[in-house]
Amino acid sequence: MLLTLTTTHEPATDLGYLLHKHPARCQSFTLPFGQAHVYYPEASATRCTAALVLDVDPVGLVRDARGATIRQYVNDRPYVASSLLSVALARVYGSALNGRCKDRPELAQTAIPLHARLAALPCAAGEDRLRRLFEPLGYAVTATQHPMDPVFPAWGASPYFTVELTHTICLDQLLSHLYVLMPVLDGAKHYWVGEEEVEKLLRQGEGWLADHPERDYITQRYLKYRKALARAALSRLTTPDEAQDAEAQDAEEAAVERPLSLHDQRLDAVLEVLVQTGATSVLDLGCGEGRLLHRLWSAPQFTRIVGVDVSHRALERAQARLRLDRQPEAQRRRVELHHGSLVYRDRRLTGFDAAALVEVVEHLDPPRLAAFARSVFGEARPRTVVLTTPNREYNARFETLPAGQLRHRDHRFEWTRAEFEAWAHQVAEAYGYTVDIRPVGPEDPALGAPTQMGVFDRRPASPNTP
């Protein structure tokens, strides 16, 4: 089994520091089930590749030779990426997997161009499943499925893929994605799955698993469908009382803003823009409990309405608000609700006329804003994006809000008018949109309006672009 990692970050040979393996040496490691070897087929200043070869001894894998069948000796284990390779990764690239790098600590925390190639990854569930696991994490995925036997095409396709993953990402993140997802795709695990596996999953899944759209699938497969373990892991992934907290916090925000019934004004303003654009298909990203969805649904112009939220609980409430189960089929078909996170690429969000993001951006951690902008403006790319966010300057006018406090406890920031304008123009410029910023709610002569709304329109593709 062969896994290669390539970088074009310069100097590329820094990969040696990141992996704690000198590019000029070949090193071998003894594992309980065979040998691992690391060497560098190429190591120049502009491009460097580290190869990890795992030489599994199938005889060593058979714990009890008495009564062992031929299948226990002759199988795909030595040749494919599986939980054995995850164990080898942890053993051979352990420091890198944990983000430690003595000589280049800052580099370990830097996203660098990386390319991983897995010579053979078993994925009986097919290429779509493979993509649904890696693409939301931002990877460009190339998957080549191999025939069962090249000499006998009639035997059809095998479940084995050569997979290439390309991304600009920190090395420890890439390694932890592989560590978790290889055994998820392979399905088989070579060891007993117990409590310890929950800890490993949560540790290696930190920072990405909780809001991965396939979180439940990954958790269940990683834990081999052991229900109690999966339940324990999932309850820790949806941070404690996240849902109930969210409700209480929303109520607080509503109380601060109530004298203006600002939320209604905002939703009306967004709806009006969406209606005027003539859009028929519309995304409500971070749809929450579905207040905007409900308004969109009442306007027959919108024939395809898709709400997306990272919170299961919010989606359940949206579903209840829309009473979808009681609607006639034709009406029901107009609306879809998806669980997903806006900081990851999601192919389900492409091909829409418009997208609304009402009071969502301020819930994202600032380091995730670039990924958010890429996925909404760079990948989903609707013709129009309408985005609202609080104007922090106006907070001084809210009588019940203590000075300096944000309107909602989950707000990671609130922008001044200048800050929002700067961000909006930078994003518009980067992704080929124009932006018009408008006030929502009563304007204070000095402080502006309580809500700021950016209306982004995609520029027509220039005739010179292919």
Residues of the shown chain interacting with ligand SAH in the complex, contacts defined by CB under 6 A: 211, 286-288, 291, 309-311, 314, 341-343, 358-360, 363-364
**Least distance between ligand SAH and beta carbon 341 (Å):** 4
Nearer to ligand SAH, 183 or 450 (CB): 450
Q: In what order do the strands lie in the sheet with 48-56?
A: 27-31, 34-43, 48-56, 2-7, 112-122, 157-169, 140-147
Nearer to ligand SAH, 376 or 401 (CB): 376
Nearer to ligand SAH, 167 or 266 (CB): 266
Both tokens assigned to 414:
């609130």
Nearer to ligand SAH, 52 or 358 (CB): 358
Run of H or E residues at 329: helix 329-332
Q: What is the amino acid identity at position 165?
A: L
The DSSP bridge partners found for residue 114 are: 7, 167
- Closest by CA position to 18, among listed 95, 111, 118: 95
Run of H or E residues at 163: strand 157-169
Give the C-alpha separation, 118 to 87, whole Å: 15
Q: Quick one: CA dihedral 106, 110, 115, 121, positive or negative?
A: positive
Give the C-alpha separation, 324 to 326, whole Å: 5
Residue number, nearest CB to ligand SAH:
288
| C-alpha distance from residue 41 to each of 95, 115, 116, 234, 368 (Å) | 22, 14, 14, 41, 35
Query: C-alpha 86: how far from its chain's center?
Result: 21
**Least distance between ligand SAH and beta carbon 129 (Å):** 22
Q: In what order do the strands lie in the sheet with 433-440?
A: 335-339, 304-309, 281-285, 354-358, 384-390, 451-458, 433-440
**Least distance between ligand SAH and beta carbon 220 (Å):** 22
| C-alpha distance from residue 180 to each of 184, 250, 407 (Å) | 7, 34, 38
Give the C-alpha separation, 186 to 159, whole Å: 10
N- to C-terminal Cα separation, the chain: 40
**Least distance between ligand SAH and beta carbon 374 (Å):** 13
**Least distance between ligand SAH and beta carbon 287 (Å):** 6
Nearer to ligand SAH, 349 or 424 (CB): 349
**Least distance between ligand SAH and beta carbon 290 (Å):** 8
Nearer to ligand SAH, 364 or 435 (CB): 364
Nearer to ligand SAH, 119 or 254 (CB): 254
**Least distance between ligand SAH and beta carbon 282 (Å):** 13
Nearer to ligand SAH, 114 or 237 (CB): 237
Nearer to ligand SAH, 51 or 296 (CB): 296
Q: Are 19 and 175 in contact (CB under 8 A)?
A: no
**Least distance between ligand SAH and beta carbon 333 (Å):** 23
**Least distance between ligand SAH and beta carbon 160 (Å):** 34
Q: Are 271 and 295 in contact (CB under 8 A)?
A: yes
**Least distance between ligand SAH and beta carbon 300 (Å):** 22
**Least distance between ligand SAH and beta carbon 360 (Å):** 4
Nearer to ligand SAH, 14 or 211 (CB): 211
Nearer to ligand SAH, 285 or 428 (CB): 285
**Residues for the chain: how many in total?**
466
Q: Are 260 and 450 in contact (CB under 8 A)?
A: yes
Give the C-alpha separation, 269 to 284, whole Å: 14
Question: DSSP character for 376?
Answer: I
